[in-house]
A and B are shown apart, each in its own frame.
Chain A
């Protein structure tokens, strides 16, 4: 009953871990390592967004008939997080630790409040609404997330 929630939540936590590793590297001024870690984080986060936007949300929208509801808000927040990712990337390229810290701190809070909404409300709804499609849905989400995550390595 919690398959979608559990799977997507665990991917949220993996993204958090990657962000933390990049942050550690920036704090240690290990810029090359930081760039690598950041790329991994960026790819993982973007893959997560894409899995939601191209697989999970359309299915939810089709099943419930709600197109302008929560999924629209989540898509809007994805746009904001993509902008923050770009700002952090630019700060990293310029080796500006303060600006990087500011952009990623904002991204972290944005990301976590977004995750809370998804984990406590949207994913449980998906589990409820899409229980009969798990066999197709979970592998599709898995492909998006793991496929894209490997790309930059």
Chain B
């Protein structure tokens, strides 16, 4: 009952927006780093600059947008409000933004202090968020697959950051921990336990409702997050214990589960009743196709040892998953969330006496489409850069820079639109109020 009562306390606009606005800055930093390192970045997935770019995107971009969106999603889907968002959001945001920069600096300099501070800030920020969200979700029954997925994803995030912290502290070389093994477990939890479980939880609601497709089958939605989570957990133990074949079997089953999610989503999207396919829907398709391509590539590398030995395949998988999958879907969602929030806050501000302009006016459609094309070009060039680094590294860096500067500009336009119309509404309502 307590959860129900919190419907009306929608978080202030600044709570999610601060995360959304800084995310593109980290992608811009990643692009600048790519331009600065050039083809060397693609020498292997283990180069300092490749690891720095990876974490600028995962922590600086993905984690920020996902946490910002959770402030908004939790009250809607679970009736669970994070209490004191004015305090929690800025603290979590500042800690994670600072932590992402320190982590990138750590990978570029290999200074133990940078890693330790990064672990402190990211661990502190995520820890605070998980406590706040856990407190809001406490006692909320998992009545559907989305609520369950959101809860499990928070556990997945905690494990990812916990392992990351362990790695950051151990990277000075003094540790006897099996670092390579821990890294792959950290990566598995980050990609599947946190990101895919969260993405699927959101997809189970967003795809059928906003894209007007049939619902995900009950047998799939009800089991997906548990299955992915259980497989991941068993694989982590098998891998950690050095059981080669069980580990291979379990990781294959995990990748297959993720691929099934992507195929099912694509198949549902072909049955959308919407008259037009908009940018958000296109971004979802790019994301699901990229995820599927990454899964296929992973299986190909497992089957052909010759492919597995090449430096390109993990990098191709990484680009497909990060830039093609998660980044695409998060940008696509931003183009719905931000204009709707702007409309909703303006509408509440006008108290029904002044109508807010509809959400399609918040960011011009042409700008959204243009940015999406820039993102797709950047993705294609990044893939090409993995295969032919000396030819495509600089064009890829430039394209990534353009796509994310464009994204930032589109989001800032939404903020300017909000400010301008808020002022207009203020003037109109005060004029109405002062009339006799």
Max chain B Cβ within 10 angstroms of own Cβ: one of A69, A105, A112, A117 = A105
Query: B77 touching A125 by the CB < 8 A rule?
Result: no
Query: A113 touching B359 by the CB < 8 A rule?
Result: no
Query: B209 touching A102 by the CB < 8 A rule?
Result: no
Query: A26 touching B359 by the CB < 8 A rule?
Result: no
> Which one, A101, A102, A110, A120, contacts B77 given CB within 8 A?
A120
Query: B273 touching A99 by the CB < 8 A rule?
Result: no
Q: With A16-B212, A26-B275 as given contacts, are A102 and B360 in contact (CB-CB < 8 Å)?
A: yes
- Count how many pairs of residues, one from A and one from B, have CB atoms less than 8 Å apart in the complex: 93
- For residue B429, CB closer than 8 A to chain A, the reply is no
Query: B359 touching A106 by the CB < 8 A rule?
Result: yes
Main secondary structure of the interface of A (DSSP, over half): helix
- For residue B38, CB closer than 8 A to chain A, the reply is no
Query: B7 touching A109 by the CB < 8 A rule?
Result: no
Chain A interface size, as a band, is: 35 or more
Query: B77 touching A116 by the CB < 8 A rule?
Result: yes
Q: Which residues of A sit under 8 angstroms from B343, Cβ to Cβ? A: 106
Q: How far is the CA of A27 from the CA of B274 in the complex (A)?
A: 10
B275 smallest CB distance to A (angstroms): 4
Q: Which residues of A sit under 8 angstroms from B209, Cβ to Cβ? A: 16, 112, 115-116
Q: Which residue of A lies closest to B80 (CB)?
A: A121
Contact segment of A79-87, A132-140, A142-150: A79-87
Q: Which residue of A lies closest to B8 (CB)?
A: A73
Q: Which residues of A sit under 8 angstroms from B5, Cβ to Cβ? A: 66, 69-70
Q: How far is the CA of A126 from the CA of B364 in the complex (A)?
A: 41
- For residue A59, CB closer than 8 A to chain B, the reply is no
- For residue B216, CB closer than 8 A to chain A, the reply is no
Main secondary structure of the interface of B (DSSP, over half): helix
Query: B358 touching A106 by the CB < 8 A rule?
Result: yes
- For residue B1, CB closer than 8 A to chain A, the reply is yes
Query: B273 touching A70 by the CB < 8 A rule?
Result: no
Contact segment of B58-66, B143-151, B229-237, B376-384: B143-151
Query: A23 touching B275 by the CB < 8 A rule?
Result: yes
Q: With A69-B5, A80-B352, A83-B352 as given contacts, are A105 and B359 in contact (CB-CB < 8 Å)?
A: yes
Query: A117 touching B76 by the CB < 8 A rule?
Result: yes
B195 smallest CB distance to A (angstroms): 21
Query: A117 touching B8 by the CB < 8 A rule?
Result: no
Contact with B along A1-40 (1 / 0, CB 8 A): 0000000000000001100100110111000000000000
> Which one, B143, B210, B212, B275, contacts A109 given CB within 8 A?
B210
Q: How far is the CA of A14 from the CA of B344 in the complex (A)?
A: 25
Contact with A along B66-94 (1 / 0, CB 8 A): 00000000001111000000000000000
- For residue B349, CB closer than 8 A to chain A, the reply is no
Which parts of B86-107 form the interface with A (CB within 8 Å)?
none
Q: How far is the CA of A83 from the CA of B356 in the complex (A)?
A: 10
- For residue A130, CB closer than 8 A to chain B, the reply is no
Q: With A83-B352, A120-B78 as given contacts, are A70 and B4 in contact (CB-CB < 8 Å)?
A: yes
Q: How far is the CA of A113 from the CA of B209 in the complex (A)?
A: 9
Q: Which residues of B sit under 8 angstroms from A106, Cβ to Cβ? A: 340, 343, 358-360
Q: How far is the CA of A17 from the CA of B343 in the complex (A)?
A: 24
Query: A17 touching B358 by the CB < 8 A rule?
Result: no
Q: Which residue of A lies closest to B72 (CB)?
A: A113
Query: B275 touching A102 by the CB < 8 A rule?
Result: no
- For residue B205, CB closer than 8 A to chain A, the reply is yes
Which parts of B289-325 form the interface with A (CB within 8 Å)?
none
Q: With A16-B212, A27-B276, A70-B4 as given contacts, are A120 and B359 in contact (CB-CB < 8 Å)?
A: no
Q: Which residues of B sit under 8 angstroms from A69, Cβ to Cβ? A: 4-5, 7
Identify the A interface with B (CB < 8 A): 16-17, 20, 23-24, 26-28, 64, 66, 69-70, 72-74, 76, 79-80, 83-84, 87, 98-99, 101-103, 105-106, 108-110, 112-113, 115-117, 120-122, 124-125
A selection of 28 A-B contacts at a CB cut-off of 8 Å is A16-B209, A16-B212, A16-B273, A23-B275, A26-B275, A27-B275, A28-B275, A66-B5, A69-B7, A70-B5, A73-B7, A80-B352, A83-B352, A87-B358, A102-B358, A102-B359, A102-B360, A105-B359, A106-B340, A106-B343, A106-B360, A109-B210, A110-B340, A116-B209, A120-B78, A120-B147, A121-B3, A121-B7
Q: Shortest 8 CB-CB distances between A and B: which pairs?
A: A102-B360, A102-B358, A27-B275, A20-B273, A112-B209, A121-B79, A73-B7, A73-B8
